[in-house]
Structure 1
Amino acid sequence: MVCIASLRSFIVRTGQLRRSSSSGRKSQIGCFRWDLDAKLRVNLPQKNYLRFSTIGTLMAASGTTLDTGAVSNTFPEKDCDEESEVGYASGGWKSEDARLSCGYSSFRGKRASMEDFFDIRNSTIDGQTVNLFGIFDGHGGSRAAEFLKEHLFENLLKHPEFLTDTKKAICETYKKTDTDFLDSESNTFRDDGSTASTAVLVGKRLYVANVGDSRTVISKAGKAIPLSDDHKPNRSDERKRIEDAGGVVMWAGTWRVGGVLAMSRAFGNRLLKQYVVAEPEIQEEEVGEDLDLLVLASDGLWDVVPNDDAISLARTEEESEAAARKLTETAFSRGSADNITCIVVRFHHYG
């Protein structure tokens, strides 16, 4: 989401954006060839037109234990032209049985700094295959979003009731991770926050949890169905919850909690914590033959690309990575002024 923040480290999910070396070393995974170089030079001031090399590695938990440090899958390295590097990354992954594939695309866009993070993990727990996908959109700084990328799924996989009561595990893990983050920042002057929109696939059960205004949408028989509802302060139930807690919702360019924050739920945001909670709303869905696509994205996409458009665009691409790239490119071309990050998951049903 758009907010004023100082220029900080540029990090994308599992890779850190680094200035391109003068040696002309080819960057690793992450640069995709959109031919946007000319567009970016037109839309961005020269001082903000920075070239970066990116490293992208899929951190995946594997095995029957909950050792989330184990890496079972890494995305292959890709070469790209140094001249095309403008602070974005992309990649893709397919399951061993070819029934699931995903692609990600993350782009700094017109913002001076990158505050979007994402996480993609797969694991086998007690013989059960688990896949986890998450989008974390920071505001007021990148630290909260980075903390979620590093700890949210790790904490969830360790929850003792993860397999037996997944909804309870997700809810408790969201709250615990929020508390952990606030504790870790207690001696700092920072007060940043982050959204979280996550999809957890346990066998054929899909659990989508959301805090903030990132969003998850599925394609069911070709129809776009949102599995999360943006947490905006002017939502009637959210306004009532905030006012019952003693807070106020004010108009300041848009509806804001206390005239400050343009979302009603978030991780972090210590000064507004009484009103801005990290309790997720969770929806559960059976993965049947008619569920073919899943799109998670930060509001840099949803601000300019409606749900129906996102699903229609993603369905035109056979490869999940290409679909994620197309969505990111479309959001940028439609004028998104924010960081743009999305994950596209495709379900392949084979009789």
Structure 2
Amino acid sequence: MCVEGLDDAAGTLAFGDHENDRRDGAAMERVCENNFVPFIRSGEWSDIGGRDYMEDAHVCISDLAKNFGSNSVDDEVISFYGVFDGHNGKDAAHYVRDNLPRVIVEDADFPLELEKVVKRSFVQTDSKFAEKFSHHKGLCSGTTALTAMIFGRSLLVANAGDCRAVLSRRGTAIEMSKDHRPCCMNERKRVESLGGYVDDGYLNGQLAVTRALGDWHLEVMKGTGRAGGGGAGGGPLSAEPELKMVTLSKDDEFLIIGSDGVWDSFSSQNAV
């Protein structure tokens, strides 16, 4: 689990004398809001729980472009955080952790069209994993993936699976992602439209999530074994993330991103 703290750095700005401050409180509030810039601190924590070995992974990168030797536009720093909840082994989670950030940075449209880049990079990383592990038992492993990127006052969250991002806004939980599980009606409709089905709460009776990277041994669900299947992204098990972007304000206190192990124990509101 990664926890990001957002502190108001606009307090160093001067707004005039105290008399004007008292008379123009509403105007002052607007000025503060317009000049707000989040100051980011991050922390991380993981626990293996009752399992024999850890299958999950996470990453915290304070400056994404600089980390991979790339130039950012107007020297704007893009911070990157991710949680990857692995299953059937750790290979997929570790591969996505190590490669997804690089795929994003190396995209020709980075960072000008970030939403398009992130969505495309999830799918490309999934395909690259299949190529690398085509003759390796790790091909059977899979992982959910949730990333959070902060640039300027913008927060962009991308999610494929049942990890969750929750923003605390003055103590109120704002869910920045949706859990992709077979019980979700929208996901169920998408799955069924692509030839899949839900059996006893599981995708095709096998997986507890409807979106994930990896799991390439499940050819029908990935779309490689269906008649007319188009390969990656063609089946009911999708690697394509859902995105949500918000503009941060001084009311936003921190962001929690965590695997389902956290959210099975805490509601979003309890967590903040």
1:80-159 matched pairs, under 5 angstroms: 99-123=39-63, 124=66, 125-126=72-73, 127-159=75-107
- Pairwise CA distance, 1:240: 1.3
Amino acid at match of 1:257: L
* Greater RCO structure (CA 8 Å; 6+ sep): 2
Partner of 2:243: 282
Q: Secondary structure of the equivalent of 1:107?
A: coil
Q: Identity over the aligned pairs, expressed in percent?
A: 34
- Pairwise CA distance, 1:163: 2.1
Residues in 2 aligned to 1:165 and 1:108: alpha-carbon distance in whole angstroms: 37
1:27-106 matched pairs, under 5 angstroms: 99-106=39-46
Partner of 2:127: 179
Residues in 2 aligned to 1:98 and 1:303: alpha-carbon distance in whole angstroms: 30
Partner of 2:136: 188
Query: Per-residue displacement from partner, 1:212-251 (whole Å, max 9, x unpaired)?
Result: 0011000112210110000001211111111111111100
Residues in 2 aligned to 1:157 and 1:289: alpha-carbon distance in whole angstroms: 29
What are structure 1's unaligned runs of at least 5 residues?
1-11, 14-96, 312-351
- Pairwise CA distance, 1:162: 2.2
1:206 and 2:155 equivalent?
Answer: yes
Partner of 2:260: 299
1:267 and 2:210 equivalent?
Answer: no
Residues in 2 aligned to 1:225 and 1:187: alpha-carbon distance in whole angstroms: 42
Partner of 2:227: none
Amino acid at match of 2:185: S
Residues in 2 aligned to 1:134 and 1:225: alpha-carbon distance in whole angstroms: 18
- Pairwise CA distance, 1:263: 0.4
Amino acid at match of 1:282: L
Partner of 2:171: 222
Partner of 2:187: 238
Amino acid at match of 1:208: V
Q: Secondary structure of the equivalent of 1:106?
A: coil
Query: Per-residue displacement from partner, 1:239-289 (whole Å, max 9, x unpaired)?
Result: 1111111111100xxx10111000000001111212111010000010111
Residues in 2 aligned to 1:172 and 1:210: alpha-carbon distance in whole angstroms: 13
Query: Per-residue displacement from partner, 1:27-83 (whole Å, max 9, x unpaired)?
Result: xxxxxxxxxxxxxxxxxxxxxxxxxxxxxxxxxxxxxxxxxxxxxxxxxxxxxxxxx
Q: Secondary structure of the equivalent of 2:155?
A: strand
Residues in 1 aligned to 2:252 and 2:38: alpha-carbon distance in whole angstroms: 16
More helix by share: 2
- Pairwise CA distance, 1:98: 9.1
Residues in 2 aligned to 1:221 and 1:102: alpha-carbon distance in whole angstroms: 19
Query: Per-residue displacement from partner, 1:179-237 (whole Å, max 9, x unpaired)?
Result: 11111111124411101111011111110000000110001122101100000012111
What are structure 2's unaligned runs of at least 5 residues?
3-36, 67-71, 223-234
Q: Is contact 2:109-2:117 (8 Å) kept?
A: yes
Amino acid at match of 2:162: D
Q: Which runs of 4+ in 1 moved over 6 A?
A: none
Residues in 1 aligned to 2:130 and 2:184: alpha-carbon distance in whole angstroms: 26
- Pairwise CA distance, 1:165: 1.2
CA RMSD after TM alignment: 1.8
Q: Is contact 2:38-2:152 (8 Å) kept?
A: no
Residues in 2 aligned to 1:153 and 1:203: alpha-carbon distance in whole angstroms: 19
TM-score (normalised: structure 2): 0.75
Q: Is contact 2:105-2:111 (8 Å) kept?
A: no
Q: Is contact 2:38-2:248 (8 Å) kept?
A: no
Residues in 1 aligned to 2:50 and 2:110: alpha-carbon distance in whole angstroms: 39
Residues in 1 aligned to 2:51 and 2:44: alpha-carbon distance in whole angstroms: 19
Amino acid at match of 2:151: V
Residues in 1 aligned to 2:192 and 2:39: alpha-carbon distance in whole angstroms: 46
Which of the residues 249, 255, 262 maps onto 2:198? 249
